[in-house]
Structure 1
């Protein structure tokens, strides 16, 4: 399996765990010392805390939600054992595509890709369009 395929397989595993509402499996996608920043700004540390807190969320506020994604926007490698994955997606009972942007920093440990850091940001596409209209120079090149 190529490095990119391995990274994308981990992302698929993460999404499958979310869609099953399986906090333990979700947490297993992260390193023991991972940092997880939720879109509301909450910071979780470590696979165990990420899995535990997500199980509570899956049992309550996020019960029966699905993670949808536009897929990988970008995968970049920084050496043999480090990658950065950027995605667009959303969660909900009827999530919209692209409502949030996620950045994953991944490391390979014992031959297996794990998420070491995660940042989730709510996307404000209307504000983006307005900003780009009035200041075209801030539009990303890619």
Structure 2
């Protein structure tokens, strides 16, 4: 899977934010709860596709262990839309996300989502404070679902 690559003018901070996001996505795709939860701040939050909220690295990690133990999770395909600074010590990454169900080769448009990924620098270490996975279902607008899916297909 290809990921957004900051160009040479990109900041070191952008690269760090991107690396954290990639680690979270890699953790999901490898079904490794420890890897996925590691970048979160102790009080970081994760809001799942269904709206369920988890607070704290430990709660996130425990939830992911349960998910990976009991469900054949689909793999993410992502495309970075932007990485920008909110303040000196805070940044946001926005991405498109699609999923390929286990044993399949194609994206499942019903699982398309927008990712919002907020990180802050705590004692000189960038940590995830919010990872929100919002459905991109575009009710009544199938052309937008297709456009979104087609954009993600370029990342395969």
TM-score, normalised to structure 1, is: 0.79
1:101–1:58: structure 2 CA closer, same or farther, 3 Å change rule?
A: same
Q: How many residue pairs get matched?
A: 129
Q: 2: CA distance between counterparts of 1:112 and 1:25?
A: 17
Q: CA deviation at 1:113?
A: 1.8
Gaps of 5+ in 2: 1-10, 145-156
- The within-5 A match list for 1:10-89 is 10-63=20-73, 65-70=74-79, 72-89=80-97
Verify: 1:116 aligned to 2:124, yes or no: no
Gaps of 5+ in 1: 132-142
Q: 2: CA distance between counterparts of 1:83 and 1:57?
A: 28
Aligned to 1:136: none
Q: 2: CA distance between counterparts of 1:120 and 1:18?
A: 13
Q: 2: CA distance between counterparts of 1:124 and 1:75?
A: 23
Q: Which runs of 4+ in 1 moved over 3 A?
A: 125-131
Correspondence for 2:115 among 96, 102, 109: 102
RMSD: 2.3
